[in-house]
Structure 1
Amino acid sequence: MLACLPPKARASESLHHVRLVYFWPVQGFLLIPIVVAQEQGIYRRYGLDVSIVLPPDAQTTARMLATEQAEIGMEARTDVVFAAEVSLPLVSIANYDQHNSWCVVGRPGEPIDLRTLEGKKIGIFIDSWTAVMMHLLFEKSGVKDAENVQQIITQFEDLPLLLSGRLDLATNAASFAIAASIAQDGQMPSLACPNVTGVPDIPIWSFTATPHWLKLHGGDAKAWLAATREGLLWAMSHPTEAAALFSKIYPEVDSPLYDKAGWAAAVPYFGNGDTALSQTSQSWSELASEMHRIGLISKVRPLATYYTNDFLPR
């Protein structure tokens, strides 16, 4: 029967299918390395057929992995620490970025004074990274009572509300803030990033999986990371072409200008050929220790609970 199948069908049968579940319910330009590896046949070269799955909200990626709705996740590293707190089996197999791009955002040309946050309306998202960073931001900026700051939850994007004057400030990863501001009015927003806010300069996102899947499919995890690293390095070296490819595949999501500006702003946060996807005990220890210090988790678990480097390309 196999001999009767066309060559492409037989080749597809031999590929191992891996589903990546994103951290956001809409495709975004941070998926560019995965799209590059898909479209350039890099995953197929490593024996994989990779698809992208979208969660219903920003808090479901870990649960989708636990219930076998996907094999690999892309999510905030705070999700991994919170998962360990409730004994949800989840481990990081690579960092996506190498620096913290989470910033307080202001309108173009308007300086940000973190000493005057009380009484302000600030746009936030409901993801776990934002929740932790806001705790730290209030602490570092001297906010005595979080109730004195109006935190306005936004569904998908807070920059339009900021630029229209309906918010005093917003919070976002720098690349998304820059993309939205440039796409809307061609100007750079004001940004207060970790060097100003005082929050830790540590990676935001991880690629994650369950220990059970890794035990059974460690080879697929290694192949996926090796192929994804190739896609990431190519997209970093060819940012304009990579963004255009993403815009072509997902034309209904954002404008080509948005994707181009956002990806160009994201690239500096990924490290280089030596550090891409790497993760260290220091950054995981710092994240978990800060979360424990401000009372969000009961204790810091052994770091092997949070991450492993066993599947990274050597």
Structure 2
Amino acid sequence: MKRRTFLAGTILAGATLMSTLLPAVGGIATASAASLTKVTFIQEWPVADGFWIPWILGKEKGFYAQEGIDLDIVAPPTVADTMKFLGTGRANVAFTTVMDIIFAKEQGAPVEAIGRYGNGNNWGIISQQGKTYTVADLKGKSVGIYNDAWTKAQLALMLKSAGLTLNDVQMVTAADDTVPLLLQKRVDVITGITNAEGTEMTTTGKQKPEFLPAIAHGVPNTPIFMLAGNQDWLKANPELAKAFMRATVKSMAYAVNHPDEGVQAFATAYSKAYDPVYIKQQWADTVPLLKPADSKSLAQEAATWQSLLTAIKAEGIVKDPLPADQYFTNQYLP
């Protein structure tokens, strides 16, 4: 899942982003740095985005340090490197996508999901304000897409619900952002998620986009983003993994309940190298997807995974998926 790169000209090529972030004034007192255990947390995107606000704020508030963790938030050199870092043990845990986990497992990488981020699949078809479409209406229309397997699979499943195929639409591939295609009227609709492309339509396009949800038209309701762990590290450090998840659940709940603090923590971490209007709106669009932010909301179900695996196998994305329960575990949740 690609999204708008809103830090113009800023590529943090594998740099450790948070090692110099100081605790906020009034933050919770924490143990000395020497007594903390470093946990390397690789992200899904080379440039910081609003999805990271819970752990940015949680680190600032001292929630990870309270659990004995020195959280090292790291950006990958490219979007393709997140699972490489996790699978090879260069990172202990990751913020990633459900499809990246599936593809990594297909390659034999020792990774598994340890918690979901969001309560469902918020991907779909986005159009300009006032221009609504049904799936059947898409026949003959131009659709801005990203050139990844899951985007095409979701679109194929949606079209199938109306008796259409990918050949019934004109797909226009975006290099890194579908939104300009729509705003410049180069396509009729685009694919995307509510808290990325949808957010950009609001902030850049100055309009409320129309949204046709994929889950209402044959696409599994599987959260797009996941927290994942290196299985070797998890087995060797079960208590540390549980501590990481306790701090993360606490951080997510606090960030959801204190959105302004979350946005401010992001601003503190990244100074002026970000789009404040976009981040504020993106977090506002993300918060409803995380509620209620508690341990139960991060728990995963085999049935949900199975629906996704069945769909992608039918589309030929994965030839021989593993049993659903081999992709995830809930044992580290508080």
- Is this a same-fold pair by TM over 0.5? yes
Match of 2:243 in 1: 223
1:115 is aligned to 136
* 1:59–1:127 CA contact under 8 A, matched in 2: no
**Aligned residue number for residue 14 of structure 2:** none
Percentage of pairs with the same residue: 29
How many angstroms apart in 2 are the aligned matches of 1:230 and 1:127? Answer: 33
1:193-252: CA deviation from partner (whole Å, max 9, x where unpaired): 135433122211111112111111222211111101111001111223312322332244
Equivalent pair of 2:114/2:328 in contact (CA under 8 Å): yes
SS in 2 for 1:175: coil
- Map 1:52-201 to 2 at 5 A: 52-126=73-147, 129-146=150-167, 148-155=169-176, 157-201=177-221
Higher deviation after alignment, 303-312 or 126-135: 126-135
2:16 equivalent in structure 1: none
CA distance, structure 2, for counterparts of residue 233 and residue 134 of structure 1: 33
The structure with more helix, counted as a fraction of residues: 1
Q: 2:7 corresponds to which residue?
A: none
Which residue identity does 1:89 align to in structure 2?
Answer: P
Distance 2:279 2:135 in 1: 29
Cα distance in 2 between the residues matched to 1:180 and 1:145: 26
Distance in 2, Cα, partners of 1:14 & 1:132: 47
- Write the deviation string for residues 25-78 of structure 1: whole angstroms up to 9, x where unpaired: 211101010111111111111111112222233333111211222111111112
Alignment partner, residue 21 of structure 2: none
| The 10-residue stretch of structure 1 (125-134 or 212-221) with the greater mean CA deviation from structure 2 | 125-134
Distance change >3 Å, CA 92–CA 274, structure 1 → 2: closer
Segments of 5+ residues of structure 1 without an aligned counterpart are 1-7
Task: Work out whether residues 97 and 203 of structure 1, in 8 Å CA contact, stay in contact via their aligned partners in 2.
Answer: yes
Query: Is 1:36 aligned to 2:85, yes or no?
Result: no
Change (3 A) 1:252 1:161: farther
Question: Do the aligned residues in 2 keep the contact of 1:183 with 1:257 (CA within 8 Å)?
Answer: yes
The amino acid of 2:75's aligned partner reads L
Q: Report if the CA contact (8 A) 2:117-2:225 is conserved.
A: yes
1:247 counterpart residue number: 267
**TM-score after normalising by structure 1:** 0.88
**How far apart, CA to CA, are the structure 1 residues paired with 2:256 and 2:150?**
24
1:257-306 per-residue CA deviation (whole Å, 9 max, x = no partner) reads: 21121111112222413633111111111111211222222233123320
Could you tell me how far apart the structure 1 residues matched to 2:168 and 2:78 are? Answer: 25
What CA distance in whole angstroms lies between the structure 2 residues aligned with 1:74 and 1:257? 23
Q: Which runs of 5+ in 2 are unaligned?
A: 1-28
Distance change in 2, residues 1:135/1:252 (3 Å): farther
Secondary structure, aligned partner of 1:234: helix
Contact 1:106 1:189 in 2 (8 A): yes
**Greater CA drift, 175-184 or 145-154:** 145-154
Q: Would the aligned equivalents of 2:76 and 2:82 in 1 still touch at CA under 8 Å?
A: yes
Does the CA contact (< 8 Å) of 1:247 and 1:255 recur in 2?
Answer: no
> How many angstroms apart in 2 are the aligned matches of 1:47 and 1:89?
25
2:90 partner amino acid: Q
**Per-residue deviation, 1:131:** 4.2
Letter in 2 for 1:208: A
Aligned: 1:307 with 2:324: no
Query: Which SS does the other structure have where 1:56 is aligned?
Result: coil
The answer as to 2:318 corresponding to 1:297 is yes
TM-score, normalising length from structure 2? 0.83
Find the counterpart in structure 2 of residue 22 from structure 1: 43
2:223 aligned with 1:203:
yes
